[in-house]
């Protein structure tokens, strides 16, 4: 006699992996948009007169609303109250709205005195930059909200199944987005620059990724139908999710010493990664004398390496442990890369040697960027009570966003101060800026040690494997 069991949608691998691909693709487009202008810093300087301070402020603006209005905390509440479907579509819409504003800000029409130009323009801060910041800030709300929502969606579909693998793959797909944009953005820009279309040379890459964000919103809507079908089938209460957000949870989270060590380690480490991405292309062309397109291609090896190694290191952590050690090694490697760009005399060696050393340093940073995220995020459940895990993650993101917001401004200011007589588009001295990035590595290294010692004393099991035999 054969027995037939009714399979839930979650039990069908093809269905749950389709759900993952739908939400991960939107994050892929989101991460592309985050860095769409990063390889074009020099062109922005020449075309729309953004000096390094302005560029830094623009880079920071992604996090303005998340930090100053505490939007990330509200995002958690919205997610709890309205659910994954609504929040996913809201975050996708915010990302698209931000993109449309940025596309308008970089248009020839606007910059030639179009609607809103006179209202926003000032000698010290061009209207194109102000409006781009507004667009990027709205986009940033959607992107960070999307990040939290996607994690929740993965829990919904994968809890009790391949959840860590699904999270690793989602992160890898996001890294692929950064890789893709460091290739496509300079290529599109060059195409229009060669035709003498200066505004389009910075606007067209944004239009391209803006269209992808519209596709991303459609994917979120399609995901919404799958989400609804799952809820209808099982009933929302049957799906084990994290506890709903409560303000009192924040007290418990902020009262934990271990939370502060991890949150500070996170802000220090990520402050030397995402803000560095914004300056890396110009730093490479300045240090080694490369064209923008070539410098961006070299830098694209960073997210690509991280994409392949992160899931492997996640698996290593699952079976062998050594989470705190991985954080320490990651910080050392990050310091080594930034210190190389700060101190190595690239102009005193052959071009070939300079390029080889630069590529090696970038690959080392890629390994570091695999070690730290692979070890950091899965460490949080070991030190924080499961009941307040959702609040802990949003609190860590909030603290991290403060660093991601401040550092690009600081680096931009440093570049302008240390390069007083450098004309727009000319190579810059990046030594001081790179020393600052390297110092974040030193601080993260010490915090990694503090974490390891605290773990040894209190027995959180950060060095132990996740999987029990
Ligand atoms: C998972 C982690 N993402 C984050 O930390 C985000 N809060 C920051 C993303 C910055 C770009 N918007 C990661 O990507 O490792």
Ligand 1 center–CA 148 separation, angstroms: 10
Ligand 1 atom closest to residue 30's alpha carbon, by position in its atom list? 12
User: What tokens appear for 462 in the block?
Assistant: 């950060």
Using the 8-state DSSP alphabet, how is residue 208 labeled? Answer: H
**Own/partner pairs, 192-195, CB within 8 angstroms, 24+ separation:** 193/43
Ligand 1 center–CA 318 separation, angstroms: 21
Q: How far apart are the first and last CA of the chain?
A: 35
Ligand 1 center–CA 150 separation, angstroms: 12
Ligand 1 atom closest to residue 270's alpha carbon, by position in its atom list? 5
Ligand 1 center–CA 191 separation, angstroms: 31
What's the Cα-to-Cα distance from 177 to each of 144, 172, 199, 300, rounded to whole Å?
Answer: 15, 9, 24, 10
Domain 247-469: CATH superfamily is: MFS general substrate transporter like domains (1.20.1250.20)
Ligand 1 atom closest to residue 377's alpha carbon, by position in its atom list? 1
Ligand 1 center–CA 373 separation, angstroms: 9
- CA dist 396 and 377 (Å) reads 10
Task: Return the pLDDT at 4.
Answer: 53
149-164 pLDDT, tens per residue? 888 888 788 877 777 6
367-389 pLDDT, tens per residue? 999 889 888 887 887 888 777 76
Which residues contact ligand 1 via a Cβ below 6 A?
34, 143-144, 147, 171, 174, 270, 274, 373, 397, 400
Ligand 1 center–CA 353 separation, angstroms: 33
Pocket test for ligand 1, best of 94, 136, 147, 307 (most atoms within 8 A of CB): 147
What's the Cα-to-Cα distance from 189 to each of 47, 122, 280, rounded to whole Å?
Answer: 12, 26, 17
> Measuring CA to CA, which residue among 175, 165, 189 is closest to residue 48?
189
Is the per-residue pLDDT at 24 higher than 70? yes
Contact 314, 252 (CB under 8 A): no
Task: Return the pLDDT at 343.
Answer: 97
- CA dist 134 and 46 (Å) reads 22
Topology agreement, domain 9-241 and domain 247-469: yes
pTM over 0.80: yes
What residue has token string 């914004």?
278
Question: What interhelical angle do 389-418 and 274-288 show, nearest 10?
Answer: 30
What residue has token string 């050392």?
332
- CA dist 398 and 393 (Å) reads 9
CATH architecture entry for 9-241? Up-down Bundle (1.20)
User: What tokens appear for 165 in the block?
Assistant: 């693998």
How much is the ipTM here? 0.97
Q: Where are the chain's structural domains?
A: 9-241, 247-469
């Amino acid at each position: 006699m054969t027995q037939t069991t009714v399979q839930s949608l979650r039990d069908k691998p093809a269905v749950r992996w389709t759900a993952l691909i739908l939400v991960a693709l939107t994050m892929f487009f989101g991460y592309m948009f985050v860095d769409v202008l990063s390889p074009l810093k020099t062109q922005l300087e020449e075309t729309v007169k953004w000096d390094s301070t302005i560029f830094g402020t623009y880079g920071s603006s992604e996090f303005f609303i998340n930090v100053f209005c505490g939007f990330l905390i509200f995002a958690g509440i919205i997610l709890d109250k309205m659910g994954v479907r609504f929040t996913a579509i809201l975050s996708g819409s915010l990302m698209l709205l931000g993109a449309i504003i940025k596309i308008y800000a970089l248009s020839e029409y606007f910059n030639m005195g179009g609607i809103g130009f006179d209202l926003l323009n000032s000698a010290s801060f061009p209207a194109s930059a102000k409006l781009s910041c507004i667009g990027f800030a709205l986009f940033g709300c959607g992107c960070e909200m999307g990040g939290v929502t996607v994690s929740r969606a993965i829990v919904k579909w994968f809890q009790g199944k391949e959840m860590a693998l699904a999270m690793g793959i989602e992160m890898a797909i996001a890294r692929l987005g950064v890789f893709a944009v460091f290739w496509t953005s300079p290529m599109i820009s060059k195409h229009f620059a060669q035709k003498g279309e200066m505004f389009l040379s910075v606007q067209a890459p944004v239009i391209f990724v803006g269209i992808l964000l519209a596709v991303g919103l459609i994917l979120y809507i399609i995901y919404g139908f799958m989400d609804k079908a799952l809820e209808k089938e099982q009933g929302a209460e049957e799906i084990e999710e994290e506890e709903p957000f409560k303000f009192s949870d924040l007290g418990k989270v902020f009262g934990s010493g271990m939370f502060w060590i991890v949150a500070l380690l996170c802000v220090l480490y990520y402050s030397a990664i995402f803000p560095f991405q914004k300056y890396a292309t110009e730093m490479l062309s300045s240090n080694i004398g490369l064209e923008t397109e070539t410098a961006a291609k070299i830098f694209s090896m960073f997210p690509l390496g991280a994409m392949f190694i992160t899931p492997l290191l996640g698996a290593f952590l699952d079976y062998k442990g050594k989470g705190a050690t991985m954080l320490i090694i990651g910080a050392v490697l990050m310091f080594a890369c930034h210190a190389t760009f700060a101190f190595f005399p690239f102009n005193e060696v052959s071009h070939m040697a300079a390029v080889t050393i630069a590529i090696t340093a970038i690959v080392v940073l890629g390994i570091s960027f695999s070690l730290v995220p692979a070890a950091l995020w899965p460490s949080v459940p070991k030190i924080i009570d499961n009941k307040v895990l959702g609040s802990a993650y949003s609190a860590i993101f909030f603290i991290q966003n403060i660093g991601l917001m401040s550092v690009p401004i600081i680096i931009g200011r440093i570049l302008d101060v240390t390069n007083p007589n450098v004309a727009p588009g000319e190579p810059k001295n990046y030594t001081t800026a790179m020393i600052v990035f390297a110092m974040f590595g030193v601080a993260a290294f010490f915090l990694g040690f503090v974490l390891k010692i605290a773990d040894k004393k209190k027995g959180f099991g950060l060095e132990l494997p996740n999987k029990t035999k």
